[in-house]
Amino acid sequence: MRRLICFIVFLAYSLTVVADGFQEKGSVIRGKVTDREGNGLAGAAVTVGNKGLGTHTGSDGHFIISGLKDGKYTLRVSFIGYRTFTRDLDLKKELVMDVVLIQQPFLTQEVLVNATRAGEHSPLAYSVIQKDAIREQNTGQDMPYLLSLTPSLVETSEAGNGVGYTNLRIRGTDANRINVTIDGIPLNDPESQQVFWVDLPDLASSVENIQVQRGAGTSSNGSGAFGATISIETTNPGNEPFAEVSSSAGSFNTLKNMVAAGTGLINGKFALQMRLSDLKSDGYIDRTGSDHRSAFINGIFRTDKSSLKLNILLGQEHTGIGWWGVPQDSLVTNRKYNPAGEYTDDSGIVHYYDNESDNYEQDHFQLIYGHTFSDAFSLNAALHYTRGKGYYEEYAEDQPLVDYGLVPFITGDSLISTSDLVRRLWLANDFYGLVYSVRYQKNRLEAVAGGGANLYNGDHYGNIIWMQNAGETPKGYRWYFNTGKKEEISIYGKVNFALSGSLNAFGDLQYRYVYYRMAGPDADFTDLTQKHSYGFFNPKAGLFWSVTPEQDAYLSFSVAHREPTREDYKEASGDPLSTPHPETLYDTELGYKLRKGKSLFGVNLYAMLYKDQLVPTGQLSSVGYSIMTNVDKSYRIGIETSADIRLAKIVNWNLNLTLSSNKINSFTEYYTDYNTGDWTSQYMSRDLGTVDIAYSPTVIFSSDFQLDINKWTSCHIISKYVGKQYFDNTMSAARTIDPYFVNKLRLDLSPRIKNVKGLEIQLIVNNIFNSMYENNAYGGNWYENGVEKTWSYYFPQAGTNYMCRLDIRF
């Protein structure tokens, strides 16, 4: 470790010296870019046109361009949504130039985004992650890892290095209860109600900012928010032309390459940009390699009163299967062991199928229109279409032919009733719809009304592409086919009214109608045919109080509903009494924020009370399925604290801590007890009383300690602690995920070089203390002669590993 620290310090010093050597000594232009209200504009482009030098404003709007010779220059300042500023200068030594930009009278998609977001005076708990913070962490890991420092968030990875299949939970709430939108358009898969980030590789390279609301949040388009909302805003085409190249490389043969370019504003009305990304990694766990690529194209056409924007997001992934996890007994002997694709040949030799993989393509098309009728009234609407298609390919040993609707046959003197085979489980779907919002703002009133209508069609089927004993079975034989169709209509209205100069009242009403139907047999020929319809009314209200210019407080109460997922219905098929019910959440949030100088402190108390929450119980249906069952009453109560502290001019510390209690009030475990004498069984139950909800740690802590070595170099020590989690609801010590504390070191360099708008060099050392930990697991239990037995699989994470990134913008 001492050698590693010495090496990093030496590297930082060396690169700083090299960067300093590129700088030309001379005159300087510095200043601040603001709007008419004096608010700093972060990310505005500032260039010296006749020299090709330029920069972007920082988070507070300040900029500096150095290395200039005395003489005459043309200063140009541009920012999307504002008129470009130009000024001829006669530079001598140092010039301070503060610039006020005037807003253009046109509309962008931000109105649609903001319609589904928490506003500045919303009485809700939320965090906003800006483009610069996302860029600094974007070395190829998926979105859950880029959001790792968000309060109450726990990220997981099947491959063990944050690439490939990743997931997240917020306040213990799993991903299929978290509403996700991109530019105000729903992103969740309507059947699973989840976003699979692996289908959107390197989405972060096209993101302007992300708002994460915790709790029920504001009304949004798409799936019901039942614990959190993630609102993603993509980058707009800029006013200035640009080109960017970024490459990241590191452990496990991880390599990410990205190129992007934009035309800038053409004739004051049109701008276009695009991004191409390619990402590969072997993964930490055996055979969990990833081969991903994506493209993002967007263009905007605008007039004085209107704008029309097109987003095209294309994604393709090929990922080695890692979702089976690692058996508990292999954690000590071989933490990287992956049982997926394992089979034994006729000689008893173990092999692994090379293409045990998940393969999927997902393409998004979005057309967004906005129109401003007056300073007070505006309209936004969007059409969207998502096409997805792909399969999971696996090798299966000794499969009975009758399980595939095939008849045993005779070859020579042998009756063939089983066969090894390779099968593909397919999903093909279409998701399209309309979302809209209208906004009125005047004097003390801000009101938004909106909604959407969405339709989803999904086909689920399986094909056999190879059989060891095929007989007359045709290649590509399809043994099952079923469909899922989902229709959704929602409307909402939000009002924020200033009762006084310091007190705001907030109200939000939403009605959501869902109709879902399934038809056809599943892979085991269980008939899935069923229909479900729901109408949900979700009211929210609260108060926001600006106690002083430095202090804010808020209080809100919200009601949210959520329908079961396809898997919930599927597992209960054949047992009508086990059909799951929709869930209800009553969420109360109480918060306080304090701004002191350049530091910010916040605390949020929450109480999330559930009716009929769906939890895994281990209970079996009448046809042998493991099902999810509604528990009558459960709750999540906690406190979230956060701080962004400027300890000194060169030291900043950003940290947050969540302490919570997550309980089911009365839980009954159902199980089968086997008599090992004759292997008869008895179906039994026991009342466990109040228990912890699975996957809900009582402590979550994250920290980012930043040291600015000089104006080009900063060092971050990033830490994450997650407390003990149970992975079922019995609170058994045998079925837990141990607490873990992980640290990483990040070195950022941004030397200024002539004719280059931006240069970033980054070195990351993940898990610097080589902690052997797991961040996810699953399993269950059974009983023999009254004695409980456990089976479990874990997801180990990589030890010390490295990544580096080079980013150049022109």
Is residue 96 located within the same domain as residue 166? no
Q: Which residues lie across from 777 on neighbouring strands?
A: 794
The Cα–Cα gap between 798 and 285 comes to 8
Structure tokens at 398: 């000794």
Count of Cβ atoms closer than 10 Å to residue 154 Cβ:
24
- Backbone angles phi and psi of 307, in degrees to 5: -145, 150
pLDDT in tens, 724-752: 999 999 999 999 999 999 999 999 999 98
Is residue 370 located within the same domain as residue 423? yes
Q: Is residue 13 part of a domain?
A: no
- In percent, the amount of the chain with pLDDT more than 90 equals 68
- Backbone angles phi and psi of 406, in degrees to 5: -105, 150
Residue 622 reports pLDDT greater than 70: no
Q: Which residues lie across from 15 on neighbouring strands?
A: none
Which secondary structure element, helix H or strand E, spans residue 11, and what is its range? helix 2-22
Q: Let me know the angle formed at the C-alpha of 727 by 609 and 560, rounded to the nearest 5 degrees.
A: 25
Residue 471 reports pLDDT greater than 50: yes
Q: Is residue 623 part of a domain?
A: yes
The Cα–Cα gap between 359 and 363 comes to 14
Mean pLDDT of the 220-234 span: 91
Structure tokens at 222: 């798409």
Model pLDDT, residue 401 = 96
The Cα–Cα gap between 403 and 396 comes to 12
Model pLDDT, residue 562 = 94
Confidence band of 113 (pLDDT split at 50, 70, 90): confident
Is residue 604 located within the same domain as residue 476? yes
What mean pLDDT value characterizes the chain? 89
The Cα–Cα gap between 165 and 283 comes to 10
Confidence band of 104 (pLDDT split at 50, 70, 90): low
Which secondary structure element, helix H or strand E, spans residue 569, and what is its range? helix 566-571
pLDDT greater at residue 169 or residue 597? 169
Instruction: State the DSSP string of 109-174.
Output: THHHHHHTS--TT-SSEEEEEEHHHHHHH-SS--HHHHTTTSTTEEEEESSSSSSSSEEEEETTB-
The Cα–Cα gap between 456 and 578 comes to 25
Is residue 161 located within the same domain as residue 253? no
Residue 705 reports pLDDT greater than 90: yes
Model pLDDT, residue 511 = 97
Distance of CA 145 to the CA centre of its chain: 8
The Cα–Cα gap between 687 and 187 comes to 40
Residue 624 reports pLDDT greater than 50: no
Is residue 53 located within the same domain as residue 132? no
Is residue 295 located within the same domain as residue 326? yes
Is the CB of residue 384 less than 8 Å from the CB of residue 432?
yes
Model pLDDT, residue 54 = 66
The Cα–Cα gap between 273 and 295 comes to 11
Residue 119 reports pLDDT greater than 50: yes
Which secondary structure element, helix H or strand E, spans residue 503, and what is its range? strand 503-519
Mean pLDDT of the 653-670 span: 94
Half-sphere exposure at residue 479, Cβ-oriented, CA atoms within 13 angstroms: 25
From first CA to last CA, the distance across the chain in angstroms is 38
pLDDT in tens, 284-302: 999 999 999 999 999 999 8
Structure tokens at 461: 């089927």
Is the CB of residue 400 less than 8 Å from the CB of residue 408?
no
pLDDT in tens, 31-55: 899 888 788 887 677 877 544 466 7
Is the CB of residue 791 less than 8 Å from the CB of residue 781?
yes
Q: Is residue 5 part of a domain?
A: no
CATH number of the CATH domain containing 501: 2.40.170.20
Residue 114 reports pLDDT greater than 50: yes
Mean pLDDT of the 658-680 span: 92
- In percent, the amount of the chain with pLDDT more than 70 equals 92
Q: Where are the alpha helices (DSSP H) in 253-407?
A: 330-333
Confidence band of 105 (pLDDT split at 50, 70, 90): very low
Mean pLDDT of the 168-191 span: 94
Q: Which of 486-490, 573-577, 793-797 has the lowest mean pLDDT?
A: 573-577
Mean pLDDT of the 258-266 span: 94
Confidence band of 110 (pLDDT split at 50, 70, 90): low
- Backbone angles phi and psi of 266, in degrees to 5: -110, 125
Q: Is residue 160 part of a domain?
A: yes
Residue 550 reports pLDDT greater than 50: yes
Q: Is residue 18 part of a domain?
A: no
Q: Is residue 3 part of a domain?
A: no
Of 134, 141, 143, 123, the C-alpha closest to 187 is 143
Mean pLDDT of the 347-359 span: 94
pLDDT in tens, 365-422: 999 999 999 888 999 999 999 999 999 999 999 999 999 999 999 988 889 999 999 9
Count of Cβ atoms closer than 10 Å to residue 734 Cβ:
15
Distance of CA 271 to the CA centre of its chain: 28
pLDDT greater at residue 766 or residue 444? 766
The Cα–Cα gap between 320 and 282 comes to 9
User: Sign of the CA dihedral 456, 461, 466, 471?
Assistant: negative
Is residue 589 located within the same domain as residue 720? yes
Q: Give me the number of domains the chain comprises.
A: 3
Count of Cβ atoms closer than 10 Å to residue 97 Cβ:
18
256: containing domain: 242-260+274-337+351-406+419-809
For 712: left if phi > 0, alpha if psi spans -120 to 50, otherwise beta; the answer is alpha
Is the CB of residue 725 less than 8 Å from the CB of residue 699?
no
Mean pLDDT of the 214-239 span: 90
Q: Is residue 637 part of a domain?
A: yes
Is residue 451 located within the same domain as residue 553? yes
pLDDT greater at residue 80 or residue 764? 764
| Burial track 101-124 (b if 16+ CB lie within 10 A, e otherwise) | beebebbbbbbbbbbbbbbebbbb
Is the CB of residue 474 less than 8 Å from the CB of residue 493?
no
Model pLDDT, residue 455 = 98
Is residue 228 located within the same domain as residue 248? no
CATH number of the CATH domain containing 87: 2.60.40.1120
The Cα–Cα gap between 706 and 719 comes to 12
pLDDT greater at residue 35 or residue 196? 196
Is residue 301 located within the same domain as residue 204? no
Residue 697 reports pLDDT greater than 90: yes
- Using the 3D structure, point to which of 82, 100, 118 is the last residue of a domain: 100
Model pLDDT, residue 654 = 95
Distance of CA 704 to the CA centre of its chain: 20
Name the amino acid, one letter, at 229: T
Is the CB of residue 316 less than 8 Å from the CB of residue 361?
yes
Which secondary structure element, helix H or strand E, spans residue 568, and what is its range? helix 566-571
Q: Which of 449-453, 479-483, 506-510, 647-651 has the lowest mean pLDDT?
A: 647-651
Is residue 169 located within the same domain as residue 95? no
799 three-state secondary structure: coil
- Using the 3D structure, point to which of 50, 74, 100 is the last residue of a domain: 100
Confidence band of 617 (pLDDT split at 50, 70, 90): low
Mean pLDDT of the 639-661 span: 94
- Using the 3D structure, point to which of 69, 100, 131 is the last residue of a domain: 100
Model pLDDT, residue 112 = 61
Q: Is residue 9 part of a domain?
A: no
CATH number of the CATH domain containing 176: 2.170.130.10
Is residue 84 located within the same domain as residue 212? no
